[in-house]
Structure 1
Amino acid sequence: MKKNKKGIIVVLVSAVLLVVLNYFLLLPLNFKFLGTSLTVTLFVVINCVVLNVLSLISQSKTEGKKSKTGFIIAGVLVLAIIAYGVINSSMFRADEYRNLIGNVEQKEFTNDIHTVDLTQLPIVDKKLAENLGDKKLGTYVGLGSQVTLGEFTKQNVNGQLYWVSPLLHSGFFKWMNNKEGTTGYIMVNATNTKDVKLVDKLNGKPLKIKYQPNAYFSTDLKRHVYMKAERTAGLTDFSFELDDTGKPYWVITKYINSIGFSGEKILGVIVVDAQSGEIKEYDTNNIPSWVDRVAPDFVIRDRIDWWGELVHGFFNFSKKDMLTSTKGMNMVYNNGECYYYTGITSVGSDEAIVGFILTNTKTMNSTFYKVSGSTEIAGMQSAEGKVQNLQYKATFPILINVENIPTYFMSLKDKKGLIKQYAMVSVEDYSIVGVGETIKDAKSNYVKTLKNKGNITLKFTGEQKKLQGTIMRIGSFNIEGTTYYNFIIKEKPDTIFTASAAISSQLPLTREGDNVSFSYNETESSSIDVLEFNNINIKGSK
């Protein structure tokens, strides 16, 4: 009887330890998660060992047999976990893994991707946002020693792109002295390096980030959600996001494994008020409009790779038709929607892509655009080669539409991480590069280089207009062997018109005071490319 009591005590103590341990681990109460299954199995093994030791001490054959039975049970559990993982791997369930992405539409780039708005191009990458945020934090005396910057997330706030980071506790004792929360968050405008601000008030009231990853006990973000809202599903991608009023929230992806211990199926999001801790849950059909991302990038990348690599099942040793995503994944915005972008390359190819995929971060719908060209890394190297004497480094590019040409856009930074120039590189031909100290200059030089190729058809955006006026100033310059002319007319003195010498033999003969007529596409740029040119003063001109 005493021996039975010892066994019961061991099991009870073990159960209590498991509960205490889970207070820190916060494992989903679901055996479809590998961590949960392994932890429970480990505790069964520990119980077997302890019971076996007790039986040896008491020299009880009965207890010894029980402990051996326990070892057998533990061994069976371990083997079951291994077998379950293998049976549910892509080796045996390739079609199910490949179909997780859903129907991948194929569309034309020029019909679906809107042409670039130069004023909304994000020039600040995550690393620069971190540097700018650190500098801003350093301007507030004493604050930097109390808090640290959280992870920056790129998001759309009222139509503007920002990198946003919460201020987090820098340690346990800092949390102890400031349990009401840290002082707000930092916003870095993704399109303007001078627009960096610390937001510590909202509607005139102090803003405190009470619930956060660097808090402890009940105000620890993950523990707060685990205890109050969700214990059976997986929680991942704890993103700090703002609604359109600037109110801070944590947006957490809720998922379940649909194929064994893998194949994450997104169920929706849990939204936590960073100040009050109020929790709201949304399924994938009713996500708030201000939430930018529901699916984490690593989930989308897995789905894309399964879709491309399992095209003919797992045992495709010849790698026939196999595709995979390129290195790096970026977030792009098209027509107000947020997407993950990644290039798609044939398995074994280093510098060439066969197209790219855009996946909506909310709906998870994926679209494939068939475009032969260079990878993002090759595009970065081409841009860096253009300014190799300056030793600038390119940021990871974003995909944009320039006159219906798929284009990589990137910033060029010096050794201190400061933006010095901008570059645009053709996806289809990475030898076509345009750089400039402003985005407008980079685009203008890029378009000129595109025109020089001759075999590329540009479809210019904007309304085509014709204009007649008097030349006020005119000058020429040369880019890679091609001569261009900039001119200003008295009737439109705030606009610089640019024309290639190839469009008219009259351009080299044109002087100040001449009357000219020309056509162009009206855009928001202060430098506009001319399509046709005619000097009325030159005899014989029309």
Structure 2
Amino acid sequence: MIILLLALIGTAIVMAILTIGRLGFGRRDVFNRGKFIRWLVGYSIFNYLLCLAIVYFSEPALTGPFGGWQWVLWPLVISSIGNLFAFARPALSTLEDISAASQGRTSTRKTSTQLPADISRGAIAAGIFGLVVAAGIGIVVAGLIVVFTTWFDSNAKALAAIPNVTVEKSTTPLLPTDPNNIVLVSSGIANFKGQQVLGSNGQNYGSSYNLDPNSYTLQSINNHLYYVAPMSYNNIFINLSNSSTPGFVVVDAEDPNAQAKLHVGPNDTIAYLPGAIFNQDLLRHVYLSGYTYGKLVAPTLELDDSFHPFWTISLMQPTRGYTGDQLSEVLIVDAHTGAITDYPPNRVPPWVDRVMPSDTVNQYLTWWGLYHAAPWFNPSGAGQQTPSGDPQLVYNKVDQPVWLVAMTSSSANDNSSTGIFLFDTHKNEAHFYTSASGLGIGTNVQNTFASTRA
């Protein structure tokens, strides 16, 4: 498994730094080969197990500054503190002496404060050197990277230029929604229908599995709009006793009278889920399969045109230090078998509705609104815009959805739009329609309707 190699490399890095500190700055000690080997072997085993746990549970993306290896600073800090424990007892004894002297008492100890004979000054030197290296890289260098990649006007303009934005003429109307495929069922109603069908087949699935209200995904299947949600484990004990969940629920998004359908056939089971334990966790399964070189984000359950379940995952890589993530690959995981296929963003299968994560779209448009027409340092907020809410998925055509984002000024008192963005769900391309400016947004519209008497 790849994590075994990553843990080994991490251990080698940590031990190299500690060894330099011990041998290079602890030279007042007479070199004792046996003591050094015991120290080296003991801390190597400890760090290997610690690195293995960090890689397995946190799944660090090996991309960006330092190649993503900054996670090694955690075992380095812990090991450095462990080496400094050799100094803890004498230091506490010294503090006791100082406290006693300040109160006019004499120390009750008969021996002078000194390092025990079996303690190596080299270990203390290793601990101090390790902490200095960790602080230098984790605070100083990392801070400078943030400053030189995100601060100042040139960097702000670079962030604003990441999304490929086309500002349409004021006379260009906003594209209409496809009248043949209108969403008439809300996600809340879809959740209600899904809960009903979960317990309607006599299998008592509700005792072991649930349908998360936030997991319903709107998507086009065979040119028709549906909500799809996976069945999830109720608790860790159900997860431990089962290798997969029975399937998923499909709710018609266009017909309010249609009944929800529970798909629990032999090929509908879902073996990998976000948040499942150990290797059943979807992102951990993908990470352990070798996709360690990017951030794995936005796992979304999508069905192909034969209603077979797949997970789509966006693999992102930063372009401006730690930020400026851009889509590098799209991973499609068979939810039933776990087989993974990677695609360039422009070559995903046609049944995949979205590969640009909504959070990424929101971040892109936040940068664009803040900096494309305003300077980086702008305490007045003049000329700035901001998204008025989370991106909403709309279908101008049944098989070509877009993210719809209303923009407003940076003023907290402004409840009208400056325009509407339609952001492509398959590529980094957005169109800004200023013809939609002046529309009411947010709580302003809700309060207006609520205060209107019938």
* Structure 1 unaligned residues grouped into runs of 5+: 390-542
Alignment CA distance shift 1:91-1:110 (3 Å):
closer
Aligned-partner Cα distance in 2 for 1:321–1:219? 48
CA-to-partner distance for each residue in 1:210-231, whole Å, 9 max, x for gaps?
Answer: 1222543333211211111401
Letter of the structure 1 residue corresponding to residue 386 of structure 2: T
Q: Please, which of 35, 56, 81 is the counterpart of residue 23 of structure 1?
A: 56
Q: In the alignment, what sits opposite 2:437?
A: 372
Q: Please, which of 196, 199, 210 is the counterpart of residue 148 of structure 1?
A: 210
Alignment CA distance shift 1:4-1:145 (3 Å):
same
Residue 52 of structure 1 and its aligned partner are, at CA, apart by 2.0
Alignment RMSD: 2.4
Q: In the alignment, what sits opposite 1:183?
A: 246
Aligned-partner Cα distance in 1 for 2:249–2:197? 8
CA contact (8 A) 1:187 1:196 kept: no
Q: How does 1:8-47 map to 2 (within 5 A)?
A: 8=40, 9-30=42-63, 32=65, 37=70, 39-47=71-79
* Structure 2 unaligned residues grouped into runs of 5+: 1-32, 88-114
SS at match of 1:208: coil
Letter of the structure 2 residue corresponding to residue 10 of structure 1: Y
CA contact (8 A) 1:165 1:185 kept: yes
CA contact (8 A) 1:33 1:257 kept: no
SS at match of 1:353: coil
SS at match of 1:88: helix
Letter of the structure 2 residue corresponding to residue 207 of structure 1: D
From the two aligned structures, give the one with the greater helix fraction.
Answer: 2
Q: Please, which of 126, 129, 150 is the counterpart of residue 69 of structure 1?
A: 129
CA contact (8 A) 2:381 2:410 kept: yes
Alignment CA distance shift 1:367-1:107 (3 Å):
farther
Name the stretch that deviates more: 336-345 or 206-215.
Answer: 206-215
Q: How does 1:352-371 map to 2 (within 5 A)?
A: 352-370=416-434, 371=436
Alignment CA distance shift 1:6-1:76 (3 Å):
farther
TM-score (norm 2): 0.78
Aligned residue pairs: how many? 383
Q: In the alignment, what sits opposite 2:120?
A: 60
CA contact (8 A) 1:152 1:164 kept: yes
- Residue 101 of structure 1 pairs with residue 163 of structure 2: yes
Aligned-partner Cα distance in 2 for 1:384–1:208? 45
Q: How does 1:381-420 map to 2 (within 5 A)?
A: 381-385=447-451
Q: Which structure has the greater CA radius of gyration?
A: 1
Alignment CA distance shift 1:107-1:194 (3 Å):
farther
TM-score (norm 1): 0.66
CA contact (8 A) 2:165 2:430 kept: yes
Residue 26 of structure 1 and its aligned partner are, at CA, apart by 1.6
CA-to-partner distance for each residue in 1:374-413, whole Å, 9 max, x for gaps?
Answer: 2332334444455x66xxxxxxxxxxxxxxxxxxxxxxxx
Between the two structures, name the one with larger relative contact order (CA 8 Å, sep ≥ 6).
2
Letter of the structure 1 residue corresponding to residue 428 of structure 2: M
Aligned-partner Cα distance in 1 for 2:353–2:161? 24
Aligned-partner Cα distance in 2 for 1:217–1:2? 39
Aligned-partner Cα distance in 1 for 2:445–2:156? 33
CA-to-partner distance for each residue in 1:480-500, whole Å, 9 max, x for gaps?
Answer: xxxxxxxxxxxxxxxxxxxxx
Aligned-partner Cα distance in 2 for 1:322–1:61? 58
SS at match of 1:258: coil
Q: Please, which of 299, 308, 327 is the counterpart of residue 247 of structure 1?
A: 308
Aligned-partner Cα distance in 1 for 2:39–2:256? 66
CA contact (8 A) 2:248 2:262 kept: yes
Residue 110 of structure 1 and its aligned partner are, at CA, apart by 5.7
Residue 31 of structure 1 and its aligned partner are, at CA, apart by 5.4
- Residue 5 of structure 1 pairs with residue 37 of structure 2: yes
Aligned-partner Cα distance in 2 for 1:70–1:183? 50
CA contact (8 A) 1:236 1:253 kept: yes
Residue 130 of structure 1 and its aligned partner are, at CA, apart by 1.8
Residue 196 of structure 1 and its aligned partner are, at CA, apart by 3.4
Q: In the alignment, what sits opposite 2:325?
A: 264
CA contact (8 A) 1:109 1:369 kept: no
CA-to-partner distance for each residue in 1:218-273, whole Å, 9 max, x for gaps?
Answer: 33211211111401211000100011111110000111111111111111210001
Letter of the structure 2 residue corresponding to residue 210 of structure 1: A
